[in-house]
Amino acid sequence: MMKPFALALTLIASSASALVPLREVKEIDHNMLWVAIAIEISDKCGSIAPRTLKGYAFLSSLKDKARSLGYSDDEIKTYVSSADEKARIRKLGEAYVKSKGLDPRSAEDLCTLGQAEIARSSQIGVLLRAK
């Protein structure tokens, strides 16, 4: 039988190593938001195209970062494919577009945002190119 002090140390050590949900890891979640916005812009705006190879490389770097933080491939896949997470990211993306004074449902406004993001070389902008 384990002594109470040893048991307490074991519980503390195991809870300290528990990972927070990926949605709470800002360096992953915020970057997933930028990717989602870039995809939405490239899907809706005929004058802007995705930089597909840059996008794949960026997503691969995010996956590598999540792995380095201790997340398994299954945990990463669950986060990326979750309908709830996709809906949450969509809401955040719409809020971002609105914060720029633009309508997230307007293709013209998404083009305006895309051009601005490209011009300022933001993370969104580097994932896009003007046609």
In single-letter form, the type of residue at position 8 comes to A
Summarize the confidence of residues 60-77 as an average pLDDT: 94
Give me the domain span that covers residue 48.
20-130
Say whether pLDDT at 5 is over 70.
no
The answer to the question of residue 36 being in a domain is yes
In a domain, 61, yes or no: yes
pLDDT of residue 49: 97
**pLDDT, position 14:** 42
Question: In this structure, is residue 6 part of a structural domain?
Answer: no
| Residue 9 maps to a domain | no
- 45 assigned to some structural domain: yes
Helix, coil or strand: residue 104: coil
Closest listed residue to residue 55, CA positions, set 43, 67, 44: 43
Among 80, 34, 37, smallest CA distance to 58 is for 34
Using one digit for the tens of pLDDT, what is the confidence trace for 8-40? 444 444 434 478 999 999 999 999 999 999 999
* Residues with Cβ within 8 Å of residue 109, at least 6 apart in sequence: 97, 102, 103
Contact 53, 127 (CB under 8 A): no
Q: Does 86 map to a domain?
A: yes
And the tokens for 40?
Answer: 């939405």
Count of residues making up the chain = 131
pLDDT per position as a tens digit, 43-54? 999 999 999 999
Domain total of the chain: 1
Instruction: Dump pLDDT digits (tens) for 70-120.
Output: 999 999 999 999 999 999 999 999 999 999 999 999 999 999 999 999 999
Residues with Cβ within 8 Å of residue 55, at least 6 apart in sequence:
35, 38, 39, 127
Q: Flag whether 32 is in a domain.
A: yes
Is residue 26, in this structure, part of any structural domain at all? yes
